[in-house]
Structure formats: structure tokens, C-alpha cells
Amino acid sequence: MHDSSSQQEFVDAVEAWAEKELRPVARKYDLADEYPHDIVEQMKELGLFGATIGEAYGGLGLSSWTYAQIVIKLSSIWMAPSGIVNSHLIMASAIERAGTEEQKAKYLPLMASGEFRGSIGLTEPNAGSDLQAIRTVARLEGDNYVVNGNKTWITNSMHGHGTLLLVKTDPAAQPRHKGMSLLIAEKGPGFNVVGKLKKMGYRSIDTCELNFEDYRVPKANLLGGVEGKGFYQTAGGLELGRINVASRGAGIAEGALKHSLRYAQERSAFGKPICEHQAIQMKLADMVTQVEGAKRLIEQAARKFDAGERCDLEAAMAKLAGSEAGAFCAQEAMRIFGGYSYSVEYEIERFYRDAMLMCIGEGTNEILRTVIAKQLVDRYRV
């Protein structure tokens, strides 16, 4: 789907689908914390699981900017389903970028159709932003790696079919990143989904703890076929991941703004709609400025990513701006809605609960600020 008008048509089609199918059920699924199986089936039919996978493998081959626009639209209605696709596509992107020809031919067509749905197995109980501190070990025995360790906060792991697993193939390596590898890990004996984490927001999505006990992965499933490349293969996927999280944040911000604009016109206080009170006008002005600014930064990062240029600085800025816009707009919306914001009858409380995760996931904003500052100093050395 190379031509930009057909890509735009697809964005519009997804938006129409989301309005018709997602909006009416979002609150029900979220409050029940129930996995939306029927929505996932519809997403498969739409082709969303193959959104950024190359056309040669049965995907749609969308640019990351087109995909970012889709994520913004989905998240402006209900953020959680975008997560089902995001983790999956980051795994697919890593296979397409770094995998062997055999790995691509085996997994990408199944992933594009949604038949094989994947996740990213990086985070551990003791290692989040500091990925080099992971303890999950894979020992080569004959033609298999034997894996032992734990992962946590793994989205898509209960209802998905496998994960891209970050392991230490050489725990003694110095520097530490040289001993890290990625394995394409399909579910099987020893791959234990321990339990779904109960979360404040981002509900309905299966975010779980995983435990690996003498779990065997064929040597052929070592991503790229060479040990010690896992840390760099992961870093490549983080740019796309950050553009995705930025888009989810910007979508939450846009959704909160739309809810607020409507409510501010419908609700009256002191004899006039509250949108005519200056205090509310200030909030709406700040909200729309943050939304539009975040979208421009996301577009800049995505276009550089699509051009194959280095975009770690741009992706970090987009993620920082998009996620902070989401948190800011959701909180301002709560204030605009006043007492009703605390009622589950209004959807705005879900935006508030979902927003904060974007400031934490895919690199905390505190760490991203240091990434941005270091790059900045490097670019403008005196």
C-alpha cells in the first residue's frame, strides 16, 4: 500500500471502524477488565496485525507515519486495543529488520494475518529501563537453548502465541550488552504465564508475568542467527516503540480534548455554557496546543524512521511530548468535567487512568530527558 492516498483511505477506514465498533464497547470491557476477543478478530480482518509488515510477507507495508496516525485515532477512543497491535508489530519489525531469511519466511506471514500474535519479552522484576541488568539466561544444549528466568509487564502474553525474548547467552560478558541475545520464543513446555497483573488503567489487555523453567527454544530461533546482538536489535525496535507510545499519548490527549470540548458546551454554570468562562477557555487552549505540538513531533520522528535515518533523538522528543500531552490533557479534562469526572458514567476517568502509563512505558520520561540532553550536547559541541 505504497501510494499515500490509499494509505490515507485506510486511516479513514480504521477511524470509521473504531467509531462504530470500539466506542460503544470500550467502557464495558475496561470496567470488567475483560479481554476483547471479538475486537481482536475484527482487527485481524482489517489487517491491523500486518500494518507495518512488508507486503512481500502479506502485510500492508504502511509507513510508520500512517501507522502513527492510526494509533492516534484508536487511542482517542480507547487506548488499550492499540497495545494489542503495538507489541506484536514491534516483534515483527525486529524479525523483519534483523531476522534470517528463514525466520522472516516462517513468522512474518503468520504475524501479518494475526494467526501468530507476538509480544516483547524484555522487562524483568529487577530490570526495566536498565535492560543490561536482566537475569534470564539461555544455555545452548545441542540444537536448543534452555531458558530459565522471569519476565514481567509483558503485554499480549496470555492470549498471544509467543514473545521476542531478551536473554543472556553469555552472563559473564563484559561489557554486559555483549552477552545479550533475542530468541523467537513460541509457547511450549516450560513457558509459563504466571498470572495477569491487575492494573489501574490499560485494562482488558493481558499484561502478565512469565516464568521460564528449562524452557527449550530451537537454536534456529536465535534472532539473526548470531549471539550477542540482542541489545542492539532491541534498541532498533525502541525507536518504533517510542513513536507508538507517543502516538498513544497524543491520542489520549486528543480524545480528552474532544470530550472536554463537548462537555464544556453542554454544561452551564452561572447562566452560560462553561466554555464561555475564561478559566475553561485557558484549559482548552493549552490542551489543543499540546495535542497539535505532539503530533508534529511524532510526524517528524516517523518520517525520519521511514526514510531510514537515525531518529533516536526525534523519537525520544516525540514520546516525551506525546505522553506528557496525554497526562496533561487527561488531568485538565477531569477538572473541566468537575464532579462528574469521578463517575464511571463518563468515559473521561478512563483517559485519566490510561494516560500515566505512557509517561512510564518504553523508557521513562525522566530517562528520555537525559537521552535528549546528551544527544543535544553531542550535536552542538563547542
Q: Is the peptide bond before 175 cis (omega within 30 degrees of 0)?
A: yes
Give the Cα separation of 374 and 312 in Å (integer).
11
Known catalytic residue at 362:
yes
The contacts of residue 199 (CB under 8 Å, 6+ apart) are 207
For residues 30-39, b (16+ Cβ closer than 10 Å) or e, as one string?
beeeebbeeb
CA 79 to chain centre: 10
Residue type, 48: L
Using a 10 angstrom Cβ sphere, with 0-12 exposed, 13-18 middle and 19 or more buried, the burial of residue 83 is buried
Give the Cα separation of 187 and 47 in Å (integer).
23
- Grid coordinates standing for 273? 455554557
Among 235, 281, 259, 254, which Cα is nearest to 346's? 259
Among 241, 194, 249, 224, which Cα is nearest to 362's? 241
Give strand ranges (E) for the chain. 118-121, 137-141, 144-155, 162-168, 180-186, 191-196, 207-218, 268-269, 272-273
User: Strand, helix or coil at 344?
Assistant: coil
Give yes or no for a contact between 295 and 324, defined as CB atoms under 8 angstroms apart: no
Q: What is the CA radius of gyration of the chain?
A: 21
Q: Which of 209, 239, 332, 362 is catalytic?
A: 362
* Region for 210 from its dihedrals, namely left if φ exceeds 0, alpha if ψ lies in -120 to 50, beta otherwise: beta
Give the Cα separation of 242 and 238 in Å (integer).
6
Q: Which residues are catalytic?
A: 362
